[in-house]
Structure 1
């Protein structure tokens, strides 16, 4: 199997585990390749089988001497998928921060990559959004690594059966009330069954095309959650920079939100994030409301610090003079 493991060697790794096909196969593939790792699992108590899956995760951790981190909760209400994802990644990041892990390993595979591609295609997306599932994503204090992106789910299941390895099937993955499952069963899985080799090659070519765009995603200033980029003076490139940054922060922009940013230049997204594009820079920070003194506001006005970013800078006591020094030096 074609695995991308270079980033995992001699590192402190945490595997996001669920006991399903993908993460179970990845557990044993990492073990076969002598990659050290521990595991983390979240039980949402949505299915009766989740208790068995948790017990299996504990048994694997004990047998193979892995540290295991467990979060149990009862998930209810609407928009379950988003709630589950937010809770899961908040849990992972807490573990990483408290235990100094360098990598979070997830078991996304080629079916997931095509499924994401098709979902974004249906919404209206550019190359960066279409290729949102990357092998490596740099976060602030760790890296997300996806070693299975070139391998199909069928191949992983065949590996488990060939080696007589136990795994679980989440029955909710077959419920087409979830949009992701609809794309999975109606399009991506069927397409891959027939055109796996071509799809894999196309993603490789598209990845090279993406790199050839050579967009500078490096901020010129970053402190706390205030991030400032150079204005690239191209609407499409600017929105790619903004979109990529917000994805790293766990915030996915819709097409309508991207259009709003381009149209307004200075706007608040979902009452949470301020995005400001002025003549020279792109400013991104959490949106807050705070009373500011006149001296501070006058300094911001003279130095063209956007109004929507000022309250956050003032509230978090970020030195406004250091900001100006960094961006105009």
Structure 2
């Protein structure tokens, strides 16, 4: 199995590990490519087997001289389990990345995961950016996410593990259809992928190229502290996509009502914490701040056409804005 890890060769990398098919295969693929990485694993303590998975991770780290970060939590099985587990997992990864200066988080999402995500988003009502939200390389605020297995199916990874006699675990909770992802996996995506794998791989590749060709500018043109300034894309739908992405990275999910209000008011505060302003040329997003402004600063903001609800944060942090 030939994968290109050149993009992260000079990066300090952290692998999200579980001991399952995907992350076990990726561990050894990275190892064989001589890519430097450490590992992080979360034990939710909902399965007896999870203790063995943690022990396996510890043994691999010791054998191959990898740093290992372990989070042990007691998470009850519930209808919100998938979301709660994901939030715990990614907050843990962010802490490790920040404290240890990692640059890239490597995850073992593969082709089955990608198709599941596509179908789940399709079932809820989604645009192009949501449907193809699972990309090989994604830039976050403080780190990047690398998903090198997106064009490889779970069956191919399992075959690799068996051929090389590599140990792995099967998560028994993946059978339970009370979890939405499992429902889509067992009833739709796995069956579809088994029959049309080559076509699905090609379609994702074509669609991703088409999306890239649209040249949608989702990244900020200015980032100072927690202030982000984006280009106004002159399209309400695209501007909402820009705002959505920024707020998700800050831990906020917009409701449909809030989206409507953003477009209507142009200057608005979300959840009493984040200010958003849409001007003729720019989109401003910054934490809410309250402070008395000097007369000189107010005049500066008027000349620069900086929105009212963004000014206090800029003044408080003494930021220099140059367009």
8 A contact 1:110–1:149 mirrored in 2: yes
**Structure 1 range deviating more: 272-281 or 106-115:** 272-281
**Structure 1 range deviating more: 55-64 or 72-81:** 72-81
**Structure 1 range deviating more: 88-97 or 292-301:** 292-301
TM-score (norm 1): 0.87
Note the residue ranges of structure 2 that are not aligned, 5 or more in a row.
none
Task: Give the equivalent residue in structure 2 for 1:74.
Answer: 74
- Once residues 236 and 112 of structure 2 are traced to their aligned partners in structure 1, the CA distance between those partners, rounded to angstroms, is 32
| Cα deviation code 1:199-232 (max 9, x no counterpart) | 1111111111111111233423221111011212
- Once residues 204 and 166 of structure 1 are traced to their aligned partners in structure 2, the CA distance between those partners, rounded to angstroms, is 31
Instruction: Please state whether the residue corresponding to 1:71 is helix, strand or coil.
Output: strand
- Once residues 260 and 119 of structure 1 are traced to their aligned partners in structure 2, the CA distance between those partners, rounded to angstroms, is 27
- Once residues 217 and 27 of structure 1 are traced to their aligned partners in structure 2, the CA distance between those partners, rounded to angstroms, is 32
- Once residues 293 and 239 of structure 2 are traced to their aligned partners in structure 1, the CA distance between those partners, rounded to angstroms, is 32
Residues 114/4 of structure 1: CA separation in 2 closer, same or farther (3 Å cut): farther
Task: Give the equivalent residue in structure 2 for 1:290.
Answer: 290
Task: Give the equivalent residue in structure 1 for 2:229.
Answer: 228
- Once residues 318 and 285 of structure 1 are traced to their aligned partners in structure 2, the CA distance between those partners, rounded to angstroms, is 11
Task: Give the equivalent residue in structure 2 for 1:3.
Answer: 3
Offset at 1:279? 2.1
8 A contact 2:79–2:179 mirrored in 1: no
Task: Give the equivalent residue in structure 1 for 2:191.
Answer: 190
Residues 289/152 of structure 1: CA separation in 2 closer, same or farther (3 Å cut): same
Paired residue total:
321
Task: Give the equivalent residue in structure 1 for 2:56.
Answer: 56
| Cα deviation code 1:99-127 (max 9, x no counterpart) | 22221110000111111111111222211
- Once residues 120 and 264 of structure 1 are traced to their aligned partners in structure 2, the CA distance between those partners, rounded to angstroms, is 28
Instruction: Please state whether the residue corresponding to 2:317 is helix, strand or coil.
Output: coil
Residues 197/82 of structure 1: CA separation in 2 closer, same or farther (3 Å cut): same
- Once residues 281 and 35 of structure 1 are traced to their aligned partners in structure 2, the CA distance between those partners, rounded to angstroms, is 40
- Once residues 265 and 120 of structure 2 are traced to their aligned partners in structure 1, the CA distance between those partners, rounded to angstroms, is 26
Note the residue ranges of structure 1 that are not aligned, 5 or more in a row.
none
Residues 158/283 of structure 1: CA separation in 2 closer, same or farther (3 Å cut): same
TM-score (norm 2): 0.89
Instruction: Please state whether the residue corresponding to 2:178 is helix, strand or coil.
Output: coil
- Once residues 80 and 215 of structure 1 are traced to their aligned partners in structure 2, the CA distance between those partners, rounded to angstroms, is 34
1:40 aligns with 2:3: no
1:262 aligns with 2:293: no
Offset at 1:251? 4.5
Residues 194/259 of structure 1: CA separation in 2 closer, same or farther (3 Å cut): farther
Residues 29/186 of structure 1: CA separation in 2 closer, same or farther (3 Å cut): same
Task: Give the equivalent residue in structure 1 for 2:18.
Answer: 18
1:276 aligns with 2:277: yes
Offset at 1:78? 6.0
Superposition map of 1:155-174 within 5 A: 155-174=156-175
8 A contact 1:223–1:318 mirrored in 2: no
**Structure 1 range deviating more: 247-256 or 144-153:** 247-256
**Structure 1 range deviating more: 290-299 or 258-267:** 290-299
| Cα deviation code 1:53-79 (max 9, x no counterpart) | 111100111111111111112224762
8 A contact 1:19–1:168 mirrored in 2: yes
8 A contact 1:7–1:145 mirrored in 2: no
Offset at 1:276? 2.3
Instruction: Please state whether the residue corresponding to 1:111 is helix, strand or coil.
Output: helix
